[in-house]
Amino acid sequence: MGIVKKYPKLLLLLFCTLLAYILFRGGAFEWLAHIDGIAGSYFAIFLGGILFTFGFTAPFGIGVFIEVAPHVHPFYGALLGAVGCMLGDLVIFEVMKFEFFHEEITRLRTTRVFLWGHRLLHHESISDHVRQYLLWSFAGIIIASPLPDEFGVALVTSITEIKACKFAVLSLIFNSIGIFLILEATRVIIT
């Protein structure tokens, strides 16, 4: 089976990443830095946070963050962007869960890397407590990163029953960290 037929949504994600890069390099995001002063920049960060959540729009969210990073305080920008992310994550959590990437996740579980990780995590020497801690940590890294949050939500919902309000707090924390790192890295590279 060809890679296009086997992982069509992941290839679409790669295409969206390349498209966002081309648009960013072409200046398509520059107008965001000039919307109605500082308030406009923070509004753009909030919208970027919503985009950052979903797999296919995450590269565009990163483009927004990079463009407005010099115009916002990284701490406040990260918090506001994380609120946008949290709203998007709650949509995924409550409505979509991980159904959109379900086929790809199922196929990826049969790859050598995932089988190795499963054997490692389910080794007899690893307690259930440590296993859950590792899975929560990995889910947090995915949620904080530009990777599709659908994967992180799939991990969280497969670990345990979690209430939406607890998930919202975790999403806010992890996304704040991820966005802060993007904003700070951009500011360091630009200056």
Asked whether the predicted pLDDT for residue 28 surpasses 80, the reply is no
Asked whether the predicted pLDDT for residue 188 surpasses 70, the reply is yes
Q: Where are the domains of the chain?
A: 3-190
Q: Do 18 and 52 contact (CB within 8 A), yes or no?
A: no
Weakest-pLDDT range from 16-30, 66-80, 109-123: 109-123
Asked whether the predicted pLDDT for residue 33 surpasses 70, the reply is no
Average pLDDT over residues 89-97: 75
Average pLDDT over residues 91-101: 66
Tokens 């390349």 map to which residue? Answer: 18
Query: Which residues are within 8 A (CB) of 123 and not within 5 positions of it... i.e. 6 or more apart?
Result: none
In degrees, rounded to 5, the angle at the alpha carbon of residue 44 between the alpha carbons of residues 57 and 143 is: 45
How far, in Å, CA of 171 to CA of 53, rounded? 10
- Mean pLDDT in the chain? 81
pTM: 0.76
How far, in Å, CA of 97 to CA of 24, rounded? 30
